[in-house]
Structure 1
Amino acid sequence: MNKFLYIFFLFTCVNSLSQDTLTYQEVNVEKVIFTERDIKIDSSTIENRVFEENFKDNYQDNDYIYEQAIKESNWWDRFKQWLADFFKNLFNLSSDTVSGKMVDILIKSLAVILIVFVIYLIVKSIMNGEGQWIFGKSSDKKVIHYEDIEKNLHLVDFEKLIKETLNSGENRLSIRYYYLWLLKKMANQNIIEWDIEKTNSDYLYEIKDLNFKSDFEYVSYLYNYIWYGEFELDETTFEKAKNAFEKIIKSIE
Structure 2
Amino acid sequence: MRRLLYSFLATFIMGTAYAQQDSIAVAYDKTPLNLRHISDDDLQKYRNDPDFNYEIVNSDPSWWDDLKTWAGNVLLRLFEAIFGVERATGLLATFLKIVPYLLLVLLVYLLIKFFLKVNASNHRQARKSGNSVLLSEEEHIIRNEDIQKLIQEAVNDKNFRLAVRYYYLHILKLLSEKELIAWELQKTNSDYLKEIKGIDLRRQFSEITHLYDYIWYGDFPIDENRYHKAENAFLNLQKSVKANA
Q: Between Structure 1 and Structure 2, which shows a larger proportion of helix residues?
A: 2
Compare relative contact order (CA 8 Å, sep 6+) and give the higher one, 1 or 2: 2
TM-score bucket of the superposed structures, by smaller chain? 0.3 to 0.5
Question: What TM-score do you get using the length of structure 1 for normalisation?
Answer: 0.43
Give the structure with higher Rg (CA). 1
